[in-house]
Structure 1
Amino acid sequence: MLLVYTKKKSPRLNYVFKHICTRVLGIKVGFTAKIEEFIAHDSLKMSYAKQQLGNEFFVKSHDILFEQGLGDVDINVHSWDTTKCFFYIGEKCSIPFDIFSASFYLLSRYEEYLPHVKDEYGRFSAKESLAFNEGFLHQPVVDIWAYKFKDALQKQFPEFVFPERTYNIIPVIDVPSPYNYKLKGLMRNFGGITADLFRLKIKSLYLRFIVLLGFKHDPYDTFKYIINRQRHSKYKFLFFFLIGDYSTYDKGINPNKKKFVSLIKHVGDYCRVGLKVSFLAIENSSTLKKEKIKMEEILNTNLKATRQSFSKLNLPDAYRNLITLEVQEDYTMGYVNQIGFRAGSCSPFLFYDLDYEVQTPLMVFPYQVMDYALLKHKSLLDKKKVLNEMIDEVKQVNGSFIPVFHNYTFGDDMRWKGFKELFNLILNSVDEN
């Protein structure tokens, strides 16, 4: 166990030390304000305070972990070997930065509580983030800092054997609509036909008819292919089905249709299934509750995981609603149009509510790349290069790589040409040295 000497304890201190030490490095951590207890401890130990006691492993503490609420935080980002960090504390300390305070700032999403410009969907955009503007969005800096902390500890305690974690993947399949033409109903198909005629989309019109007449597979129906890939992978895929009402934003299938329910159950036989929270339910707790109950009726089990429609995430309300309904996991933490680490980490972490100053039971699984973000890279070679670079970043800290693909990504639309190959690249990354 790592024993930390600190004159003052706080919920923030407990939260971030347990994430870095226990979740990332795999070691237990305890705290003491008694010098005698600290001296007597015969294993890993460090002091986290304003002043060093003697020659022990020492990290000078920043004030942010002992504050409450939001305040003006002065941040100056510096280079640190091949990465970047902030809250510089000097070379006389065992490490030159207070990585615990810096990690708390990123993991708590402190900056998302501060005034910022939202995009057209009301989302916090990558361009508003410290990581994007300071050029470290492409790195899981919290995990990198944790490993630097580990290396420094190892030098001072060479006899201690740290546990090793392994790189893993959690492939996420987002299903806003399982079919492009099927199960849409008479009125919606009539509207689609009218729109195709008006825009002279003859190919789309032809495809709609041959699919509805049963002569061709629906282009969004790629579930057989995905399940087949699941059978050859040791990691469970996680599907998120939209079952919310039809709206301006969400145009899924009526969850009362038996074929749709059968599809969800069929996928659930092979993969994990969660709820894709509709756009209107994100900020409406009663609508969210109805969707959760409906999905639990379909799955015949408690709902464990969610993803918000359009990856919209307004903190802290969106997460509080999930916590109230006892949802255990969320997979919304990421950017639709930007590859990178929104919370600076590739390790799942518990959501910390800054307003209530409490660690919550909701586990946040941050995703690093969505298929849409890869579209800006025109050639397949460029897409592979970017994807491999992201995978390598996660592998260096043995983290969790979480990509988000859609069911229609695996169809025949030329827009998504080569994406099956990209998906297989991710699946095969586990077996590579």
Structure 2
Amino acid sequence: MLLVYTHKISPRLNYIFKHICTRVLGFEVRFTTQIEEFIAHDSLKMSYTKQQLGKEFFIKSHDFLFEQGLSDVDINIQKWDNTKCFFSNSDKSAMPFDIFSASFYMLSRYEEYLPHVKDEFGRFTAEESLAYKSGFLHQPVVDIWAYKFKAALQAQFPSYKFPNKTYRIRPIIDVPSPYKYKLKGLLRTVGGTISDLSKFKLYSLYDRFGVLLRFKNDPHDTFKYILNRQKNTSSKFLFFFLIGQLSTYDKGVSPNKKDFVTLIKHLADYCNVGLKVSYFALEDAKRLKREKEKMEDILNTNLVASRHSHSKLNLPETYRNLIALEVKEDYTMGYINHIGFRAGSCTPFLFYDLDFEVQTPLKITPYQLMDVALLKQWSLLDKKKVLNELIHTIRAVNGEFVPVFHNYTFSEDKQWEGFKELFNLILDSAETT
């Protein structure tokens, strides 16, 4: 156990030290404001305050963890070995940066509370982020800083045995609609047929009626393949199904369709299943509650996990609505079009509400890759290279790789050619740890 001496035990300090020490590095941490208790402790210890007490392991604290609410924070990005950091320290500090304040800034998503330009969906974009602008979006900096902290502690306390963690994966299968043509209803089928005819999409027309007349398999019905992969890997897949009402942004299948419900139940026998929250339920608590209750009726158990349509988040309201409904985990934290680390981490963390200055019970599991981001790479070889680099980066900090694939990603559509191989590469990476 690490004992930390500090002049004030603030909610922010308690939150970030426990995340870095316990969640990332795997050891317990406790705090004291009593010098006598600190001196008497004969194991792992450090001071985190303005002035060093003596010759102890000392990291000079920035004011950031002792503040409340939002303010104009002066961020000065500097190079640090093979990474970058901010909140630089004095020469007397054991580390050149206050990694705890910097980590809190990243994990709390402080910058997403500040004024920023949103995209057409009303989302915070990668281009608006500090990580993208400063060139470290590709690194899990919070985890990298944590391991630098561990190395510095180990040097000071060479006999202390730190626990070891291992790399792991959590594959996400996002299902905005389970089928391309099946179960879409008369109006949408007629509308789709007219659209195909007007655009001379004869192959689509052939496909559509082949599926409807049941002599062809629906092109997006890839669940047999996915289930087969699940049965041959130790990493549990997590499916997110959209069951909300049809809208401009969501064009799924009605949860009143018996075949759709049967599919969800069948997959839930082998994989974990969560709710893909519809676009309009993001800001409508009543609609969100209806969708949650409907999914719980289907699964016949309490809903554990959610993920929002189009990866849209409105902080802090989105997470507060989930907390109010006792949803335990969310998987929306990431960027659709960019590979990288939106919160600077590949370790799940608890949502910290900056308005109330309180740690909440909602666990945020960030994703680092969505399948569509790999389309930027022209060849399959380039895609593999980018994917292997990402796996290596996460493995280096014993993190959790969370890739998001869709059911249609495994279809025979030319756009997704080779993606089964990429998915298998990810699955194999966990089996060879």
SS of the equivalent of 1:290 reads helix
Tell me whether 1:55 sits opposite 2:55 in the alignment. yes
Deviation at 1:91, TM superposition (A): 3.2
Aligned partners of 1:352 and 1:72: how far apart in 2? 19
1:28-39 alignment to 2 at 5 Å? 28-39=28-39
SS of the equivalent of 2:241 reads strand
Residue number in structure 2 paired with 1:389? 389
Residue number in structure 1 paired with 2:243? 243
Aligned partners of 1:351 and 1:91: how far apart in 2? 33
SS of the equivalent of 1:342 reads coil
Aligned partners of 2:401 and 2:294: how far apart in 1? 30
Tell me whether 1:202 sits opposite 2:202 in the alignment. yes
Q: What amino acid does structure 2 have at the position aligned with 1:92?
A: K
1:144-155 alignment to 2 at 5 Å? 144-155=144-155
Structure 1 residue ranges (4+ consecutive) displaced by more than 2 angstroms after TM superposition: none
Aligned partners of 1:376 and 1:201: how far apart in 2? 26
Residue number in structure 2 paired with 1:88? 88
After superposition, what is the alpha-carbon deviation per residue over 1:12-63, rounded to whole angstroms, capped at 9, x for unaligned? 0000000000001111101101111000001110000010001000011011
Residue number in structure 2 paired with 1:228? 228
Aligned partners of 1:431 and 1:177: how far apart in 2? 30
After superposition, what is the alpha-carbon deviation per residue over 1:77-102, rounded to whole angstroms, capped at 9, x for unaligned? 11111111110003321111000000
SS of the equivalent of 2:22 reads helix
1:386-425 alignment to 2 at 5 Å? 386-425=386-425
Residue number in structure 1 paired with 2:2? 2
After superposition, what is the alpha-carbon deviation per residue over 1:262-300, rounded to whole angstroms, capped at 9, x for unaligned? 000000000000000000101110000000000000000
SS of the equivalent of 1:281 reads helix
Residue number in structure 2 paired with 1:24? 24
Q: What amino acid does structure 1 have at the position aligned with 2:85?
A: C
Q: What amino acid does structure 1 have at the position aligned with 2:52?
A: Q
1:76-155 alignment to 2 at 5 Å? 76-155=76-155
Residue number in structure 2 paired with 1:292? 292
Deviation at 1:200, TM superposition (A): 1.1
Aligned partners of 1:394 and 1:172: how far apart in 2? 17
TM-score, reference length from structure 1 = 0.99
Q: What amino acid does structure 2 have at the position aligned with 1:333?
A: M
Deviation at 1:191, TM superposition (A): 0.4
Residue number in structure 2 paired with 1:44? 44
Q: What amino acid does structure 2 have at the position aligned with 1:47?
A: S
Q: What amino acid does structure 1 have at the position aligned with 2:308?
A: Q
Aligned partners of 1:192 and 1:431: how far apart in 2? 43
Deviation at 1:115, TM superposition (A): 0.1
Please give the root-mean-square deviation of Cα atoms over the aligned residues, in Å: 0.6
After superposition, what is the alpha-carbon deviation per residue over 1:108-160, rounded to whole angstroms, capped at 9, x for unaligned? 00000000000000000000000000000000000000000000000000010
Identity percentage over the alignment? Answer: 72
Q: What amino acid does structure 2 have at the position aligned with 1:375?
A: L
Deviation at 1:257, TM superposition (A): 0.7
1:143-222 alignment to 2 at 5 Å? 143-222=143-222
Deviation at 1:431, TM superposition (A): 2.8
Q: What amino acid does structure 2 have at the position aligned with 1:129?
A: S
Aligned partners of 2:308 and 2:156: how far apart in 1? 45
Aligned partners of 2:43 and 2:191: how far apart in 1? 70
Tell me whether 1:343 sits opposite 2:343 in the alignment. yes
Aligned partners of 1:249 and 1:331: how far apart in 2? 19
Aligned partners of 1:192 and 1:302: how far apart in 2? 36
Q: What amino acid does structure 2 have at the position aligned with 1:283?
A: E
Deviation at 1:215, TM superposition (A): 0.9
After superposition, what is the alpha-carbon deviation per residue over 1:169-194, rounded to whole angstroms, capped at 9, x for unaligned? 00000000000000011111000001
Aligned partners of 2:270 and 2:237: how far apart in 1? 9
Residue number in structure 1 paired with 2:262? 262
SS of the equivalent of 2:376 reads coil
Aligned partners of 1:179 and 1:141: how far apart in 2? 39
SS of the equivalent of 1:87 reads coil
Aligned partners of 1:183 and 1:33: how far apart in 2? 63
After superposition, what is the alpha-carbon deviation per residue over 1:332-371, rounded to whole angstroms, capped at 9, x for unaligned? 0000000000000000000000001000000000000000
Aligned partners of 1:117 and 1:91: how far apart in 2? 38
SS of the equivalent of 2:341 reads coil
SS of the equivalent of 1:321 reads helix
Residue number in structure 1 paired with 2:361? 361
Q: What amino acid does structure 2 have at the position aligned with 1:389?
A: E
Aligned partners of 2:415 and 2:43: how far apart in 1? 56
1:363-382 alignment to 2 at 5 Å? 363-382=363-382
Residue number in structure 2 paired with 1:304? 304
Residue number in structure 2 paired with 1:15? 15
Aligned partners of 1:374 and 1:391: how far apart in 2? 14
Q: What amino acid does structure 2 have at the position aligned with 1:133?
A: K
Aligned partners of 2:70 and 2:348: how far apart in 1? 24
Deviation at 1:313, TM superposition (A): 0.6
Deviation at 1:199, TM superposition (A): 1.1
Deviation at 1:432, TM superposition (A): 3.0
Aligned partners of 1:312 and 1:34: how far apart in 2? 45
- Which runs of no fewer than 5 residues in structure 1 stay unpaired? none
Q: What amino acid does structure 1 have at the position aligned with 2:175?
A: V
TM-score, reference length from structure 2 = 0.99
Aligned partners of 1:29 and 1:286: how far apart in 2? 40
